[in-house]
Amino acid sequence: MFNRSFVTEFILLEFSDIQELQIFYFVAFFIIYLIALIGNLLVIIVVAFNEGLHTPMYFFLGNLSTVDLGYISVIIPKAMANALFATSLISYPECVAQLFFFLLLVSSEFYLLTVMAYDRFVAICNPLQYERIMNKVFCIQMVAIAWIAGLINAIVHTSCTFGVTFCFNVIKQFFCEIPQLLRLTCSNSYIPEGGAVMFSALWL
């Protein structure tokens, strides 16, 4: 509690000071978000309702689409709201939540991609034993491990990032990310974050 920051909100990077350009950015972000939303939802729905796609590869692909849908929803809506209302503020709790969920989803995606690579490795190198090795229970366990590993990674990095004192509140980015946040500290932030990076390297 003693090194908690007195900063109550952060100022994000604005794309432009011109109102017309802000509206243009809002429309651009909205189109990108809508395409990503529809594309990932279609993948999830098709995989869920088509029994012919109830295989390990498509099971992992459906989970990957869920992760993609999640982390684009963590960043883009806030950027759209800031562009629409011509503001650049994000509260301290919002910044913590945004960073945590972004790290959770991105880390989980890396682990899921690793699991998918292992799935293809088994399919190519052990095709006769593929169904025995990549059974339903094992696939669910692998996905659960990917999510748990992402959760642990997010908790460690978020705790280390916000466990320091902030002397400034201007983030030179349109969302909260670790490198930009560490530039705002007035303490030696590289020690806790260095520890977090070493933990992540060993965790992998």
Q: How far is CA 95 from CA 92, 160, 169, 184, 203, in A?
A: 5, 14, 11, 13, 25
Confidence of residue 192 (pLDDT cuts 50, 70, 90): low
CATH number of 9-155: 1.20.1070.10
Pairwise pLDDT comparison (191 vs 56), residue with the higher score: 56
**pLDDT surpassing 50 at residue 3:** no
| DSSP symbol at 13 | P
Q: Is 187 helix (H, G, I), strand (E, B) or coil?
A: coil
Q: Are the beta carbons of 8 and 91 closer than 8 angstroms?
A: yes
**Alpha-carbon separation of residue 196 from 54, 71, 112, 113, 161 (angstroms):** 37, 21, 21, 22, 9
Instruction: Read off the pTM.
Output: 0.84
